[in-house]
Amino acid sequence: MERSLNPYYIPRLVNYRLSIQDAADRLLRELKTDLDTLRLKTRKKEIVSKRQAMAYLLRWYGFTYSSIALLFMQDHCTVIHSERTVENDMLTNKELKDFIRRMQHTVITKN
């Protein structure tokens, strides 16, 4: 499934098309993990926090809750919860906030 990025997020990318798998691959490289690890049914903080950050960023890129949930083999409600959790965690976790901001401005511009 391909989805256009909203040109209001980054005006220079009006015609840039990014598939969810392409975006996920780029984020996985930055997170230094693989999709199989993030799909594990575990509560380990290092895995859950990476999965939540990736879901938040994919949502910021404009992908739907359902498409992100399919990627992680989860329910769309879990993706909504992940988005809210990351937003709350960014208020107190400076490292997470810096990582999210960096990914919002660098990952999608790479070819």
Task: Determine the Cα–Cα distance for residues 34 and 79; give it in Å rounded to an integer.
Answer: 18
The number of distinct structural domains making up the chain is 1
Strand runs labelled E in the chain: 2-4, 17-19
Residue 102: inside a domain? yes
From the first residue on, what is the mean pLDDT of each consecutive set of 10 residues in the chain (111 residues)?
Answer: 51 57 90 93 93 94 92 94 96 93 71 44
Q: What is the pTM of this model?
A: 0.80
Q: CA 109 to CA 11: how far, in whole Å?
A: 11
* Residue at 13 is within a domain: no
Q: What pLDDT does 6 receive?
A: 53
Domain assignment of residue 99, yes or no: yes
User: Is 27 within the bounds of a domain?
Assistant: yes
> Would you give the DSSP letter of residue 92?
T
How much is the pLDDT for 12? 45
Domain boundaries, position 55: 18-109
Q: Would you say residue 12 lies in a domain?
A: no
